[in-house]
Amino acid sequence: MTEPLEEDALQLALAALPGWKLQDDKLVKRFVLGDFRQAMMFLVRLSYEAEALNHHPEIHNVYKTVDLALTTHDAGNKVTVKDVELAAAIEAFL
Amino acid sequence: MTEPLEEDALQLALAALPGWKLQDDKLVKRFVLGDFRQAMMFLVRLSYEAEALNHHPEIHNVYKTVDLALTTHDAGNKVTVKDVELAAAIEAFL
Q: What is the pLDDT of residues B11-54, one digit of tens each?
A: 999 999 999 999 999 999 999 999 999 999 999 999 999 999 99
State the virtual CA torsion across B54, B55, B60, B65 in degrees, nearest 10.
-80
CA R_g for chain A: 13
Task: With both helix axes pointing from N to C terminus, report the angle between B81-93 and B7-16 in degrees, rounded to the nearest 10.
Answer: 0
Chain A nearest-CA distance from B9, in A, is: 26
**Distance from C-alpha of B70 to C-alpha of B29, rounded to nearest angstrom:** 9
On the question of pLDDT at A1 being above 80, the answer is no
Say how far apart CA B9 and CA A56 lie, in whole Å: 39
Architecture of the domain delimited by B7-93: 2-Layer Sandwich (3.30)
Domain-wise residue ranges, chain A: 7-93
- Cross-chain residue pair B36–A43, CB shorter than 8 Å: no
**What does the pLDDT look like over A38-49, one tens digit per residue?**
999 999 999 999
Helical residues (DSSP H) of A1-94, grouped into ranges: 7-16, 36-53, 81-93
Euclidean distance between CA atoms B69 and B57, whole angstroms: 6
Q: Would you report the helix, strand and coil content of chain B in percent, each value rounded to 5?
A: 45, 25, 30
Q: Indicate the pTM of the whole model.
A: 0.96
* Close Cβ partners of A80 (under 8 Å, ≥ 6 residues apart): A2, A3, A4, A5, A72
The reply to whether residue A51 touches residue B37, judged by beta carbons under 8 angstroms, is yes
Collect all residues with Cβ–Cβ distance below 8 Å to B77 and sequence separation of at least 6: B25, B26, B71
Q: Tell me whether A54 touches chain B (CB under 8 Å).
A: no
- pLDDT of A93 > 90? The answer is yes
Chain CA centroid to CA B15, Å? 14
